[in-house]
Every structure is written in structure tokens, then in C-alpha cells.
Amino acid sequence: MEPATTRRDYERELRQAGIRITKPRKVILQILTGSEDHPDAMAIFRRAVKIDASISLATVYRTMKLLEGLGAVHRHAFEGGPARFEHADGAHHDHLIDLDTGKVIEFHSETIERLQQQIADELGYDIEHHRLELYGRKRR
């Protein structure tokens, strides 16, 4: 995987869009930059208020919507849970969601990529984009 987007990159994208970088937004961007997981808005909020208790959940939602609109983050609506976010940069990957813990595991499979391309070719299509989500439980 490629390195995560830096907070400065997020700030630059927001500034280029004419959006002010407020203190609460800086904290949210700091949280996102340091996230190795796929946090939902509530997780981002809980982490942010530990840094600045004045941050509101509404500010988190607005900031995430802005970043999503700019293409800086991807929003995932994994089955059975709230929307979760991840950095939009990096190599293509798919997700395995642990149904017991909610943990999101990123993976890449050349075999799956070749099979998808083969299917599209056989049906006469060019793939523009795709998303693969697997849901499972850890074997005991």
C-alpha cells in the first residue's frame, strides 16, 4: 500500500476548494492522518474530543462530507454498520469485514483482479471501477 495522505495534503485540498481551515477541522484532519483503521464519524468524534472538547459531531459530519466531495476520502457503507472512511489515495484494494468485531481488513489479489477482467472481457465490457467486500467470521 502507498503511504497515507498527510494532514497538509488534506489542508491543501480544502484550501484549494476555498474552505477555511478552522481549529476543529485541523484536529479532525490530524485524526484522519493518524488513522490506520476505517473509522466512522462517531469514532472520529470520540478521538477528536479527547484533543479538543469543543468539537461537535456536526463539525465531524460536515468535514467528512467536504473531504468526500473533494475525493480526499472514500466513504464505505459496509453492511450492518455506519458509514466508515478511509484515505482516498493508495493502491487499489478490497475489503474483508469481520462480522464479529467489525474490523476491516484490506487485501489485494491479482487472481481476483484477473478474474474480474476476464468476466468483463467475456461479456464485452470495460471495467470503470469496482468494489469488493467480503464478510466473514474468523475460523476457530
Enumerate domains of the chain plus CATH numbers: 7-87 (1.10.10.10), 94-136 (3.30.1490.190)
pLDDT of residue 101: 86
If DSSP codes are grouped into helix, strand and coil, which group holds residue 77?
coil
- Which are the contacts of 22, defined by CB distance < 8 A and separation ≥ 6? none
pLDDT of residue 58: 95
pLDDT of residue 59: 93
Helices and strands (H, E) in the chain, number of each type:
5, 5
Query: What does pLDDT average to in each consecutive run of 10 residues of the chain (140 residues)?
Result: 51 86 91 85 94 94 90 80 77 85 88 93 92 90
Identify residue 56 by its one-letter amino acid code: S
Cβ pair 10, 4 in contact under 8 A: no
pLDDT of residue 51: 94
